[in-house]
Amino acid sequence: MAKNNMSDFIDVHALIKTYLSKWYWFVISVILCVGIGFLYCRVHQRPMAIRAHVLIQQDDSNPMADLGGMGSLFGSKGYVEDEVFVIASHSLFSSVAKELGINRLHYVRDGFLKSHLAFPEYPVDVVAPGIADTLMSTIVFKIKVDENGLADIKAKVKRDVIADVEDVKLPAQVKTIYGDFTVLTTPDYVKGRELKTTVSFSGYGVAAEELDTEIRAFRGSKKSNVICLTFDTPNVEYGVAVLDKIIEKYNERGIVEKNLQGEKTEAFLRDRIQLLASDLNESESAIQQYKERNGIIDVNAEASYQTGKKGQTENALFNVEKEIELLKLTREFLADSLNYSDLIPTTVASGAVQGGINSYNALVFKRLELSQNAKQNSYAIRQLTKQMDLMRANLLTSSEKALENATVNLNKLMLEKNEITGKLSNIPTQEREYINMKRQQEIKQQIYLFLLQKQEENAMLLANAVPKGLIIDDAFSFSEPLGMSKKVILLIAFLLGILLPVTIIYVHRLLRSKFESKEEVQRHLSAPVLGEMCIDRSGRSLVVSPTDTSSATELFRLMRTNLQFMLGGEGDKVVLMTSTRSGEGKSFISLNLAATLSLLEGKRVLLVGMDIRNPQLANYLGINPPLGLTNYLSASNVTLDSIIQPMAGIKNCDVIVAGPIPPNPAELLASSKVDELFAKLRTMYDYIIVDSAPVGMVSDTFALDRISDATIYVTRINYSTFSDLRFVEEIYTDKRLKKLSVVVNGTSSKKGYGYGYAAKTSKK
């Protein structure tokens, strides 16, 4: 777990050393970046910020606004959000480009890689009447005029040359597939001076698209009615002219729209007033005819009159009916003979016979008085009785007659009442019809008066049309240009020149698959590092000698000391040398380590080449003995002494080369004869260095672990990979090889050793 954490550790010291070793990268990078920054500052002109502010006035004076939804028939009130789109519309930009002529942009060369936008004065112009209205491309005219006034003209659309004219006097005609263009000088042209200029000729629509990408229109804030216009351009006069012209064209469009709206409103009002005047006359005539037809002057007065008349008729009916009842009672009383001598009650007498009844009752009283003093058959009583009979008969006849008259009067009053009731029942219907007709007439009259008022208001608006946009700030420029200054750009370029190689080197270290230092090996492995070997450029296989004090020899001596400490016991003599693959310097380390051990006084050392699949030890030593290890192991008639060879130039050091490649190397190394051989060799030598096969390719080395006392695993900087180290860690953790330690080959010779060694790729 600790080694896993160490593998994620960033070695800052090693990283800094890597940066310092690549110092020339930084020099080149800084020069390139600063140079590019300088060219950028020369080519790129810092733009100036051009601004303008317009207050959008709400058109509340629209005479049709009071008509609610009908006002939308004649134009909107111009909300700010909509006006932002109007002021930045393609059609408005196109009209601005046409009026200012900015579909032709003139760039005059000032020197090496430097030019400026010439506006409003420029020395040369390109004209083509009518073409800009339909042209959908941009034609770039590159014009060179010499001191004699001869011009070379080249026209291009993107990368295609569409015209090329040389040595012509201006004005000159240039024929293209888009039409004929005329290149001519302006009053600002100076004769006798060389001129290099570029004219970008676009259609008005293309120029409008360019303005749309460069100019930004937006609302000042959510609650404000101010539109802000921004335009960033190096030429202040150009930017100010464009923004001012946009505002001017916007206001012109607003006035035209208002006038058009006013004219439409006037036509509408005139037609409606004429129509309403006719309708109003018809309504008034209809009311007049209705009153005449129904005999009505005033519906309310008529209703009051008929109601009073009905009350009078009902009172008369009541009196007649009462009189009829009284007459009936009087008649019944007179017709009854039992009542002959009785007084006729005056309370039930009708007014029509009241006088006769009173006279009759007077006779009755008189007769009663006489009957008290005279006999019933006296003359006076008989005369009174006769007179009473006559009067009673007259009263009865009068009652009958009065009853008939009262009945006739009753019928007449009933007819009159019914007539009045009928008239009263018709009054609500007449009133409703009259009110409806009156209401229609009043509505039309109100609308008529309202439209007359609006007609006058609209006439005043037409006479006093004002722009929709009130200019708060005409187009103006800030004092300082936008963007970074030249000093800042060069500083950033310098920092980028430093940062670029730093990033490249760091990313390379993150993405690399091969380690680059002994420290990285130590961080990734739990196994001890026995030593390291620096790069040697001499090309020799054997670099160790008794009198040599080179860095390589000293490193091998240090490796020898560490090996002696690792072996420890007296019986530990056999050291197995291996690696992951060929080319890591295993055989070179084996050869020189054996030579270094032999320099110890009284110590005998043997180097055994047991990489029998790809033997290279004999080639390194430059020897070609007739017999080798495979001959000894495969044949019984080969003696041990016949395969042992002394190492040239090194005392007390012998070597056994691998010999010819056998057909069965694995079986040969697993034979018991190998064990017998090493048992003999242990009695003959103090140290035995075994150059075995790479464990990453074959399993021969694991089979030889039985005869070894320790294992040295050779790795190589910038050759072995991190996956190789993980493989070594697995072998060490699983204890598949005894006392495994690691040698790092190919380290830098700049650690104070003078020079070093690097095994060639062909070496193991």
Note the pLDDT of residue 345: 67
Q: Which residues contact 537 (CB under 8 A, 6 or more apart)?
A: 755, 756, 757, 758
550 vs 740, more confident: 740
How far is residue 204's CA from residue 137's CA, in Å, rounded to a whole number?
A: 10
pLDDT tens digits along 204-249: 999 999 999 999 999 988 888 899 999 999 999 999 999 999 999 9
Which neighbouring-strand residues pair with 494?
Answer: none
Strand order in the sheet with 226-233: 215-219, 226-233, 48-56, 469-477
Note the pLDDT of residue 72: 43
Res. 14: pLDDT tops 90: no
Res. 62: pLDDT tops 60: no
Q: What is the pTM of this model?
A: 0.56
Burial of 656 (0-12, 13-18, 19+ CB in 10 A): buried
How far is residue 505's CA from residue 334's CA, in Å, rounded to a whole number?
A: 153
pLDDT tens digits along 374-408: 666 777 777 777 877 787 788 778 878 887 888 88
Residue 755 CB neighbours (<10 A) = 15
Instruction: Report, in this order, helix, strand and coil percent for the chain, each rounded to 5.
Output: 50, 20, 30
- Does residue 163 contact residue 153 with C-beta atoms inside 8 Å? yes
pLDDT tens digits along 290-319: 777 776 666 566 667 767 777 788 788 777
pLDDT tens digits along 538-548: 778 888 888 77
pLDDT tens digits along 554-610: 899 999 999 999 887 778 899 999 999 988 989 999 999 999 999 998 899 999 999
Note the pLDDT of residue 156: 94
pLDDT tens digits along 187-214: 998 888 899 999 999 999 999 999 999 9
Res. 8: pLDDT tops 60: no
Q: Among all chains, which residue has been given the structure tokens 């690399």? A: 512
Which neighbouring-strand residues pair with 115?
Answer: 109
Mean pLDDT confidence for 60-81: 53
Mean pLDDT confidence for 719-724: 90
Give the DSSP per-residue string, 322-335: HHHHHHHHHHHHHH
Give the DSSP per-residue string, 484-521: --HHHHHHHHHHHHHHHHHHHHHHHHHH-SB--SHHHH
Note the pLDDT of residue 331: 73
Q: What percent of the chain has pLDDT over 90?
A: 38
Domain chopping of the chain, boundaries: 2-46+483-511, 104-202, 299-463, 563-746
Average pLDDT, the chain: 83
Q: Of all helices (H) and strands (E), which one includes residue 81? A: helix 80-87
Q: For residue 565, give the amino acid letter.
A: F
Mean pLDDT confidence for 621-640: 88
- Does residue 628 contact residue 660 with C-beta atoms inside 8 Å? yes
Res. 428: pLDDT tops 70: no
Note the pLDDT of residue 756: 37
Q: For residue 706, give the amino acid letter.
A: R
Segment among 60-74, 107-121, 470-484 with least mean pLDDT: 60-74
78 vs 452, more confident: 452
Which neighbouring-strand residues pair with 319?
Answer: none
Res. 691: pLDDT tops 90: yes
Sign of the dihedral through C-alpha 442, 448, 452, 457: positive
273 vs 251, more confident: 251
pLDDT tens digits along 145-189: 999 989 999 999 999 999 999 999 999 999 999 999 999 999 998
Collapsed DSSP state (helix, strand, coil) of residue 80: helix
Is 563-746 a domain of CATH 3.40.50.800? no
Q: Which tokens belong to 650?
A: 């090194």
Res. 77: pLDDT tops 60: no
Q: For residue 112, give the amino acid letter.
A: F
Res. 4: pLDDT tops 80: no
Q: Among all chains, which residue has been given the structure tokens 């090493």? A: 678
Q: Which residues contact 630 (CB under 8 A, 6 or more apart)?
A: 612, 658, 659, 660, 661, 662, 665, 668
Using 50, 70 and 90 to split pLDDT, how confident is the model at 426?
low
Using 50, 70 and 90 to split pLDDT, how confident is the model at 71?
very low
**Helix pair 236-294, 80-87: axis angle to 10 deg:** 130
Note the pLDDT of residue 50: 94
Res. 69: pLDDT tops 70: no
Res. 496: pLDDT tops 90: yes
Using 50, 70 and 90 to split pLDDT, how confident is the model at 753?
very low
Q: Are strands 124-127 and 179-185 parallel, antiparallel or unpaired?
A: antiparallel
627 vs 311, more confident: 627
Mean pLDDT confidence for 17-30: 89
- Does residue 516 contact residue 14 with C-beta atoms inside 8 Å? yes
Q: For residue 641, give the amino acid letter.
A: D
Helices (H), 536-638: 551-567, 586-598, 617-621, 629-634
